[in-house]
């Protein structure tokens, strides 16, 4: 096997790139290209990050963010998949409702943030609502199209095998829609995290977003902390995406898009 | 050749003798987009009967509405006028005792289910208990010449093996009749011969009635008791040709016989003639 293709080599290469970026950052700070009053050095940021990681306040903030995000995602995605499936199965319902959904999808979630703040204040409920609302529309549309996208040969096969009702739904409809739903979920997870941070940053609910805001308001001394929090939200995003990609690979191992990956992993 | 069993329809049974025909097509007509400017008549007037245990092939020039006819015979499509009776009952939907094998096995087999689970689907629909289901699955997989592939996914197998799985699935719940739509059109020539012999063997073993649609005249002559020749669209039955070739058939002996050559020539003239 080619050395470039081995897992070890790839991991090393990725770590190398990260190290180079961090070194470049430090170099630019030391050389004075980055103004230290608005952009702290890499070492100062990392030192602050290290300090924060031992602080229980930080972990509380992380927990608040993850909780709001997770609950919002759970509610929004459950509703989207259930309602999307029902609409996708019924042609009349689909044709009646789809223009409304397509319209509501285009409403920026930020536009309803003030409304949510008025109704719930800076609370977990506000955050959960915002995330659920934001992930619902795109995932519902994705589910509707997935349920309707059953291959004509698969549909004929289901008919000649006399698959009907719930058995047809679980044997044919759901697996056919699964790749669409999986893509929708992966996007929803990422969008949901962004909305969580926004709800905290703008709406003032507790979590990493609020920590960023508070550290900015505390003045230039606290700048390394701001950057540490921003880095941490980035890492959270990467972890969330990785988890969903892994889940997708596992559940859709039979799908054309995943078959080669499975063969490589074996 | 391993199928030395005499077939139930060694001599073509004529409808009306003994029990009635398994499949009876009368004055079938199928138009698409009825009442619209794009209205198109695919099948004008098709009638024929298929007796129990018989092997009937349907041939015709390309675009002759062969697949449309097969979809009407299976109950997937409703004819515009005319009637299809399966075991005496007019078709409303796909009947229980009928199975269909499609050309495109890669889409017809569910890629998210293993081979065993694919074959299990019609058994579950029929309400067969788990132990009997497993016995039946290994029985039909064995009958189509597949050994230990139950745990594989269909897409991990070769094309010929996948079509064998599709045939096994179609046979699983012991149907009376098998409808096949160009089943061997997507495999290479050698595999095609193997699958042709397989279907003859399976048909002899299970005493099943087969209607097979194909564009390949040699294949039709090799397999059939009778060949229904369709005209170009709007299709009518050009002629129904009886194939008096002895069974069991053999790829080398049968195909090189004089009768085979004459039938082949006659059918070729019918199919390529312009009307």
CB-nearest to B107 from A154, A159, A178 is A154
What is the architecture, at CATH level 2, of domain B20-40+50-97+176-275? 3-Layer(aba) Sandwich (3.40)
On chain B, the residues whose CB falls within 8 A of the CB of A173 are: none
Rg (CA), chain B: 18
Mark whether A4 and A77 lie in a shared domain. no
Mark whether A134 and A233 lie in a shared domain. yes
Number of domains in chain A: 2
Mean pLDDT of chain A: 89
**Does the beta-carbon distance from B107 to A151 stay under 8 Å?**
yes
pLDDT band, residue A240 (cuts 50/70/90): confident
Distance separating alpha carbons of residues B80 and B29, to the nearest angstrom: 6
* pLDDT tens digits, one per residue of A26-35: 999 888 888 8
Helices (H), B54-174: 66-74, 105-108, 115-125, 130-143, 159-171
Instruction: Name the interface residues of A facing B (CB cutoff 8 Å).
Output: 151, 153-154, 156-157, 159-163, 167, 171-172, 175, 178, 254-256, 259
Mark whether A16 and A59 lie in a shared domain. no
Domain locations in chain B as residue ranges: 20-40+50-97+176-275, 109-174
The tens place of each residue's pLDDT in chain B, 275 residues long, gives 344 444 444 444 444 445 789 999 999 999 999 888 888 999 999 999 999 999 999 999 888 889 899 999 999 999 999 999 999 999 988 899 999 999 999 999 999 999 999 999 999 999 999 999 999 999 999 999 998 899 999 999 999 999 999 999 999 999 999 999 999 988 999 999 999 999 999 999 999 999 999 999 999 999 999 999 999 989 999 999 999 999 999 999 999 999 999 999 999 999 887 55
Distance separating alpha carbons of residues B19 and B52, to the nearest angstrom: 8
Mark whether A43 and A114 lie in a shared domain. yes
Q: For residue A89, what is the domain's CATH number? A: 1.10.3720.10
On chain A, the residues whose CB falls within 8 A of the CB of B102 are: 153, 156-157
Mark whether A7 and A132 lie in a shared domain. no
CB-nearest to A153 from B74, B102, B112 is B102
Tokens at A55, concatenated: 């602080």
Mark whether A12 and A130 lie in a shared domain. no
Mark whether A78 and A186 lie in a shared domain. yes
Cα dihedral: B102, B105, B109, B115 (round 10): 120
Q: Are A240 and A193 in contact (CB under 8 A)?
A: yes
At B34, give phi and psi (nearest 5°). Answer: -60, 135
- The residue range of the domain holding A55 is 38-265
pLDDT at A266 over 70: no
Mark whether A131 and A30 lie in a shared domain. no
Mark whether A180 and A235 lie in a shared domain. yes
Q: What is the pLDDT of residue B30?
A: 94
Mark whether A202 and A128 lie in a shared domain. yes
pLDDT at A265 over 70: no
Mark whether A46 and A30 lie in a shared domain. no
- What element of type H or E holds A210? helix A208-217
Tokens at A84, concatenated: 């999307």
């Amino acid at each position: 096997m080619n050395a470039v293709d081995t897992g070890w080599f790839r991991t090393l290469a990725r770590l190398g790139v990260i190290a180079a970026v961090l070194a470049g950052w430090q170099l630019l700070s030391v050389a004075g290209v980055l103004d230290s009053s608005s952009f702290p050095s890499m070492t100062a940021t990392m030192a602050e990050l290290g300090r924060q990681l031992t602080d229980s306040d930080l972990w509380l903030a992380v927990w608040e963010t993850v909780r709001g995000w997770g609950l919002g995602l759970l509610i929004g995605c459950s509703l989207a998949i259930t309602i999307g499936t029902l609409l996708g199965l019924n042609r009349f319902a689909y044709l009646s409702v789809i223009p409304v959904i397509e319209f509501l999808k285009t409403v920026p979630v930020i536009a309803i943030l003030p409304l949510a703040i008025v109704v719930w204040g800076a609370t977990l409920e506000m955050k959960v609502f915002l995330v659920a609302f934001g992930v619902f529309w795109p995932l519902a549309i994705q589910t509707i199209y997935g349920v309707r996208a059953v291959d004509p040969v698969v549909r004929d096969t289901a008919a000649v095998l006399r698959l009907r009702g719930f058995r047809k739904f679980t044997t044919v409809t759901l697996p056919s829609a699964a790749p669409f739903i999986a893509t929708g979920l992966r996007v929803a997870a990422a969008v949901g995290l962004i909305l969580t941070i926004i709800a905290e940053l703008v709406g003032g609910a507790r979590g990493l977003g609020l920590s960023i805001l508070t550290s900015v308001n505390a003045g230039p001394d606290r700048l390394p902390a701001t950057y540490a929090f921003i880095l941490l939200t980035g890492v959270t995003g990467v972890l969330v995406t990785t988890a969903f990609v892994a889940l997708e690979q596992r559940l859709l191992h039979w799908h054309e898009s995943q078959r080669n990956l499975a063969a490589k992993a074996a | 050749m391993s199928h030395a069993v005499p077939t139930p329809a060694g001599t073509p049974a004529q409808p009306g003798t003994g029990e009635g025909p398994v499949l009876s097509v009368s004055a079938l007509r199928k138009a698409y987009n009825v009442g619209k400017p794009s209205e198109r008549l695919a099948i004008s007037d098709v009638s024929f009967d298929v007796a129990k245990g018989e092997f009937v092939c349907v041939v015709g020039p390309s675009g002759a509405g062969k697949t449309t006819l097969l979809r009407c015979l299976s109950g997937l499509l409703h004819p515009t006028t005319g009637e299809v009776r399966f075991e005496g009952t007019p078709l409303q939907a796909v009947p229980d005792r009928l199975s269909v094998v499609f050309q495109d096995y890669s889409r017809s087999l569910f890629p998210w289910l293993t081979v065993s689970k694919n074959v299990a689907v019609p058994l579950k629909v029929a309400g067969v208990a788990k132990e009997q289901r497993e016995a039946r699955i290994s029985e039909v997989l064995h009958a189509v010449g597949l050994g230990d592939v139950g745990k594989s996914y269909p897409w991990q197998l070769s094309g010929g093996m996948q079509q064998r799985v599709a045939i096994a699935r179609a046979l699983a719940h012991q149907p009376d009749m098998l409808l096949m739509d160009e089943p061997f059109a997507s495999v290479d020539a050698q595999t095609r011969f193997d699958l042709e012999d397989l279907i003859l063997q399976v048909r002899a073993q299970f005493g099943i009635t087969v209607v097979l649609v194909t564009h390949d005249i040699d294949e039709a002559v090799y397999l059939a008791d009778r060949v229904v020749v369709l005209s170009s669209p709007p299709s009518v039955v050009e002629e129904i040709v009886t194939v008096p070739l002895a069974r069991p058939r053999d790829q080398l002996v049968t195909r090189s016989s004089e009768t085979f050559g004459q039938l082949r020539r006659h059918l070729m003239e019918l199919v390529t003639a312009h009307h």
